[in-house]
Copies of this chain bind each other. A is one copy, B any other.
Amino acid sequence: MGYRVAVVGATGAVGREILKTLHEREFPVDDIVALASPRSTGREVSFGDRTLKVQNLETFDFTGWDVGLFSPGASVSAIHGPRAAKAGCIVIDNTSQFRMEPDVPLVVPEVNPNDLKKAKRGIIANPNCSTIQMVVALKPLHDLFTLKRVIVATYQAVAGAGTDGMHELEQQTKGTFVGDPPVIEQFQKQIAFNCIPQIDRFMDDGATKEEWKMAVETKKILDPDVSVIATCVRVPVFIGHSEAIVAEFEEPVDLARAREALREAEGVVLLDKHEDGGYVTPIECVGEDATYVSRLRLDPTVPNGLAFWCVSDNLRKGAALNAVQIAETMIALDLLPKRH
């Protein structure tokens, strides 16, 4: 009746969220296996009421498994993603490893589901968290007014750096109150009570790789004619990415039509009252599936401009949920054959 599902990187923040999401959404699971690197082998993770003992990814045989949801490091996916795909297991990879490869679809189901049909190598890439929520919010506006350019500044949670990132924010915050010097490992500078304008490494043009990802991934998912200039900033928030977005369109923007389209768009919740507190903040979106749009207003500094605030749970829609939705959409499109 169901599928044989492998969750790779099962002990990480995203891996645990994938197991939770599969269970919550009642994904048709016949058999499930939790995989991780040798150092995590033998640890236990939850899947609904069940406890799964983590198995060793390196020696695991993917033959007979239908779908693998991968969220280890990019270098691990580079080795084991193609190995699983070669064994006939469809790989949905959450790392940056395959995203920009031309024969690997990069998919947000609300935006470009039909790209799943082009998965020639048996690998589908899950976009970067900050890209996903932005394209979900922009898609209905693009359909109406034809998007040209996006200027985005992000406010990204430490959960983007996994459980270690969350631990670092907690430890540094506690340390501040007792005068302990901050221990800096996951981020480039102290993150407690601070903002760090660097996510991922620097590129040659002075942008960071996270900023580059937002630009190139948006082109691949939404439209190659859309250009994006991003400034990506880590903020002392545990979970939930926020984005201040200014969008410029080809055609005249009608605010009422924009609101209507966002209200009806799949995956979007428009929560936008022009009064104290009439918007969504990151702590309010934790554990939620939607991409929230608030602070929608005309940008009076260009002919066809819109500005808005966009918030989503970066572990859910930004990672685990989108990956599971890809698998669900493949079933709906009859693209996920059973191997057993």
Contact = CB atoms under 8 A, between A and B. Distances in A.
A206 to B, nearest CB: 3
A143 interface: no
Contacts of A179: none
A216 to B, nearest CB: 12
A298 B309 CA distance: 24
Given A229-B301, A231-B295, A231-B309, A279 B198 contact: yes
A193 B238 contact: yes
Interface string A172-197: 01100100000000001110011111
Nearest to A194: B283
B274 A194 contact: no
Contacts of A281: 189-190, 194-197
Q: Copy number of this protein in the oligomer?
A: 2
Interface residues of A, number: 56
A272 to B, nearest CB: 8
Interface string A242-270: 10101000000000000000000000000
Interface stretch (A5-13, A103-111, A114-122, A149-157): A149-157
A197 B282 CA distance: 10
Contacts of A155: 155, 195, 233, 235
Given A207-B297, A229-B307, A242 B197 contact: yes
A55 interface: no
A299 B230 CA distance: 9
B238 A282 contact: no
B295 A197 contact: yes
B276 A206 contact: no
Interface in A321-339: none
Contacts of A153: 153, 231, 244
A151 B197 contact: no
A133 B294 CA distance: 27
A324 B300 CA distance: 35
A134 to B, nearest CB: 14
Contacts of A301: 149, 151, 227-229
Interface in A116-151: 149, 151
Contacts of A278: 202
A139 B225 CA distance: 33
A307 B276 contact: no
B206 A294 contact: no
Nearest to A201: B276
B279 A151 contact: no
A126 to B, nearest CB: 25
Contacts of A307: 229, 231
5 contacts: A155-B155, A189-B277, A195-B235, A198-B279, A205-B297
Given A149-B301, A205-B300, A231-B309, 10 more contacts: A151-B246, A169-B193, A173-B173, A193-B237, A197-B294, A206-B298, A229-B246, A231-B246, A233-B244, A235-B235
Top 4 A-B residue pairs of the complex, sorted by shortest distance between their CB atoms: A206-B297, A153-B153, A153-B244, A231-B244
